[in-house]
């Protein structure tokens, strides 16, 4: 546990994912508020409980949970916290999340089962060799992810512009779809800080294409548009969902824009010699990623190619169930 300010404590909670620890923020005062909670693992629960104890509280003292989005490394322990506080029975502890991600939490099991089917499909239509996905099935994937969280049927939906009261004053909901359809930042105008979830992260991609199966819009384009909304927060301290705080938000936004341009140019150049599958292009742009990072790389690469197609710089065709891109 580390202190962000006199009223804000950061607890680094471990996750089983390559991204590493998730930052959970405890805000003193009434109501005692927790922003993001970590996945449902014994190690995560122990770390979160110890961090809250170091701040002078018990897990059962939490009286409000705000989730920046519905991914399991940020929401998995929510139901457990409600149980220990009796909030699950008495409905005294609100779990707040943007309405676009509400189903991820209220029907975590059903939603996860549907998502894992999409993960297997994207591997197949991207052209991943069977040797690289031995034994991977939707059933195995769903069982793994379902083990990391629980449904919270009483979760409540937020909208862009809503205000949530906390011990440091009001936090304004800034809807920033992209990393997920319901990603939000929580903005404190008074303290000039923003809890950014995974919308803006230091040094690593926000994986803007994970909702490839949920929206007809290109998620990467949605994410880039949402990043522009952040420019109004110039000078604000950014408290992200992973890694260290961002002190120069505009500089980070410029870095991300340049990174997207670089990846688009690289993908376009790869089509000069011959048509290539999504998987083949992903291996050049994202390198020797492992199985855990495969969906992230494939989804983002597919978005890059869809953007090139929209700009008239590529043509996507499906042959024998595999999507390939070529020059127009």
SS3 sequence, 210-261? CCCCCCCCCHHHHHHHHHHHHHHHCCCEEEECCCCCECCHHHHHHHHHHHHH
Residue 104 has pLDDT above 80, yes or no: yes
Q: What burial letters (b/e) apply to 294-324, b meaning 16+ CB within 10 Å?
A: bbbbbbbbbbbbbbbeeeebbeeeeeeeebb
User: What pLDDT is recorded for position 87?
Assistant: 59
User: What pLDDT is recorded for position 133?
Assistant: 78
207 or 148, higher pLDDT: 148
User: What pLDDT is recorded for position 94?
Assistant: 94
* Mean pLDDT across 124-151: 89
**Each residue of 41-98: pLDDT tens digit?**
999 999 999 999 999 999 999 999 999 999 999 999 999 999 988 655 566 799 999 9
| Token pair listed for 246 | 């961002």
Peptide bond into 31 cis (omega under 30): yes
257 or 135, higher pLDDT: 257
CA atoms within 13 A on the CB side of 314: 32
User: What pLDDT is recorded for position 205?
Assistant: 86
Please list the residues that pair with 186 across neighbouring strands. 173, 195
251 backbone dihedrals φ, ψ, rounded to 5°: -60, -40
C-alpha 137: how far from chain center: 23
Residue 286 has pLDDT above 80, yes or no: yes
Closest CA to 298 of 207, 226, 218, 215: 207
Q: What is the mean pLDDT of the chain?
A: 94
User: What pLDDT is recorded for position 257?
Assistant: 94
* Mean pLDDT across 110-132: 92
Domains by residue range for the chain, with CATH: 263-326 (1.10.10)
- State the pTM of this model: 0.95
User: What pLDDT is recorded for position 132?
Assistant: 83
Closest CA to 176 of 102, 287, 98, 86: 98
User: What pLDDT is recorded for position 91?
Assistant: 65
Q: Which helix (H) or strand (E) holds 123?
A: helix 108-125
**Each residue of 1-13: pLDDT tens digit?**
788 888 999 999 9
């Amino acid at each position: 546990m580390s202190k962000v300010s006199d009223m804000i404590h950061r607890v680094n909670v471990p996750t089983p994912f390559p991204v590493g620890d998730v930052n959970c923020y405890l805000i003193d005062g009434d109501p005692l508020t927790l922003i993001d909670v970590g996945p449902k693992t014994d190690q995560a629960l122990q770390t979160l409980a110890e961090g809250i104890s170091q701040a002078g509280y018990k897990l059962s003292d939490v009286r409000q949970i705000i989730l920046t989005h519905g991914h399991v490394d940020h929401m998995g322990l929510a139901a457990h916290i409600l149980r220990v506080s009796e909030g699950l029975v008495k409905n005294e502890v609100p779990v707040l999340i943007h309405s676009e991600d509400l189903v991820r939490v209220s029907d975590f099991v059903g939603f996860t089962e549907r998502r894992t089917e999409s993960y297997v499909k994207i591997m197949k239509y991207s052209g991943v060799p069977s040797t690289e996905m031995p034994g991977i099935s939707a059933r195995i994937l769903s069982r793994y992810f379902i083990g990391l969280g629980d449904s919270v049927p009483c979760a409540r939906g937020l909208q862009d512009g809503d205000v949530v009261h906390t011990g440091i004053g009001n936090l304004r909901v800034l809807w920033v779809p992209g990393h997920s359809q319901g990603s939000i930042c929580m903005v404190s105008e008074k303290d000039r800080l923003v809890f950014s979830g995974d919308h803006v992260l230091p040094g690593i991609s926000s994986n803007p294409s994970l909702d490839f199966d949920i929206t007809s819009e290109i998620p990467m384009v949605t994410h880039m548009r949402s990043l522009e909304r952040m420019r109004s927060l110039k000078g604000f301290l950014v408290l992200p969902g992973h890694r260290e705080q961002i002190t120069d938000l505009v500089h980070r936004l410029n870095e991300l824009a340049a990174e997207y341009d670089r990846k688009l140019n690289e993908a376009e150049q790869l089509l000069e010699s011959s048509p290539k599958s999504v998987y083949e292009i992903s291996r050049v742009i994202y390198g020797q990623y492992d199985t855990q990072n495969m969906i992230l790389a494939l989804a983002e690469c597919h978005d890059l190619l869809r953007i090139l197609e929209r700009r008239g710089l590529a043509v996507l065709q499906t042959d024998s169930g595999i999507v390939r891109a070529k020059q127009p």
